[in-house]
Amino acid sequence: MKLLVINGPNINMLGIREPGIYGKNTYADLLTLLEQTAKDAVIQIDHFQSNHEGAIVDTIQAAYGVYDGIVINPAAYTHTSVAILDALKAVSIPAVEVHISDVDSREPFRQISYAGLYCEKTIKGQGIDGYRQAICYLQEKYG
Among 25, 48, 58, 110, interactor with ligand DQA by CB under 6 A: 110
How near is the Cβ of 42 to ligand DQA at its closest, in Å?
27
Tell me if residue 47 is catalytic.
Answer: no
Among 71, 101, 114, 123, interactor with ligand DQA by CB under 6 A: 101
Q: Pick out residues in 3-62 that bind ligand DQA (CB under 6 A).
A: 10
User: CA-to-CA distance for 56 and 14, rounded, in angstroms?
Assistant: 18
For every residue of 18-53, which 3-state class applies, written as one string? Answer: CHHHHCCCCHHHHHHHHHHHHHHHCCEEEEEECCCH
User: CA-to-CA distance for 77 and 64, rounded, in angstroms?
Assistant: 21
Tell me if residue 99 is catalytic.
Answer: yes
78 binds ligand DQA (CB under 6 A): yes
* Residue numbers annotated as active site: 22, 99
